[in-house]
Structure 1
Amino acid sequence: MTSLAPPNPPAPPSPGELMDRLARAAAAYYRNFAAVAAGDGLTLMQGKVLSLLRRPMPMRTLAELLACDASNVTGIIDRLEARDLVRREADPADRRVKLVLLTETGQEAVRRIRAGVLADLDGLAALAAPDREALGRLLDQVFPD
């Protein structure tokens, strides 16, 4: 009887391979997000802005979060405001700063977008609770706030 050596376990993915997987996952997420937002007549960026407005936010902060020029955010906000999805108010702490807030219509749009995106995340939904907890911990570890 000859004994076979146990096979070598596969090498863990390199940081570069993991980044490639994350990039593919992010691309798939944003394709889905863009399609869901388009169902509401919104561009990807308009949908992202609405999703970021969980609380009132200065225009400059939105520009920083979106990694774009403030003038681009102004155009996006103008179009969202024309559709009654957001409104601008002076910041009570500094009247020179304009805050952007979701309107009730904007809140409804965010709920629809979120529900549509979540409906297409079968892979995440299929994970057992311990696996979701582990993935959450790993993501927090790799991308801390």
Structure 2
Amino acid sequence: MNDNQQLPWDNPRFRNWVAVARACHSVERALAAALQPLDLKPAQLDVLMNLYRHPGMSQHDLARKLLVGRSNITMLLPQLEGRQLVRRESDCKDRRILRLSLTSDGEALLMKALEVHMALIEKVMAQSSATECDMIGEQMRRIADVLKID
């Protein structure tokens, strides 16, 4: 870096991006702590939420939806299956594909976890008006679209 270059922390975009990253990290830590009494981690909650919304999705589709590698899903699923929260079944048309769904215990735990998650979201977003919440969401969706890897 030479003397004519502006340092990144003097740039408002950099400072604001760091603020977004810190806020995201803080929410993730708070969510992890709030989910501990349910013996659930945020990544496991993501799996349960997606299987509730999209029952029967494949492991491959779940990994793509969560923006993680299939190996991450492969490590998470045995934990959730062992707790009888998730079921893996062969696809009737293609035996190589495993279809995922929640068990009744998985759905019950998800409903408890969603109460915890929504309470945290309400606490965090209560600082913003409905209009500001919509603006924040729209901006984050635009950022996600710019960085889409697909």
TM-score under structure 1 length normalisation: 0.75
Per the alignment, residue 141 of structure 1 pairs with: 142
Per the alignment, residue 119 of structure 1 pairs with: 119
Per the alignment, residue 130 of structure 1 pairs with: 131
Give identity over the alignment, percent.
29
- Within 5 Å, give how 1:62-101 maps onto structure 2: 62-64=62-64, 65-70=66-71, 72-101=72-101
Against the structure 1 CA distance between its residues 137 and 58, is the aligned structure 2 distance closer, same or farther, given a 3 Å change threshold? Answer: same
- Larger strand proportion of the pair: 1
Per the alignment, residue 59 of structure 1 pairs with: 59
- Contact 2:59–2:70 at 8 Å: present in 1 too? no
- RMSD, matched Cα: 2.4
Distance 1:45 1:63 in 2: 11
Distance 1:32 1:57 in 2: 29
> Which segments of 5 or more consecutive residues in structure 1 lack a partner in the other structure?
1-10
TM-score under structure 2 length normalisation: 0.73
Alignment coverage as a number of residue pairs: 133
Q: CA deviation at 1:124?
A: 0.4
Q: Aligned partner of 1:39: which letter?
A: P
Q: CA deviation at 1:69?
A: 4.7
> Per-residue CA shift, 1:50-102, capped at 9, x if unaligned?
233221321223334352352x4233211211211110122244332001111
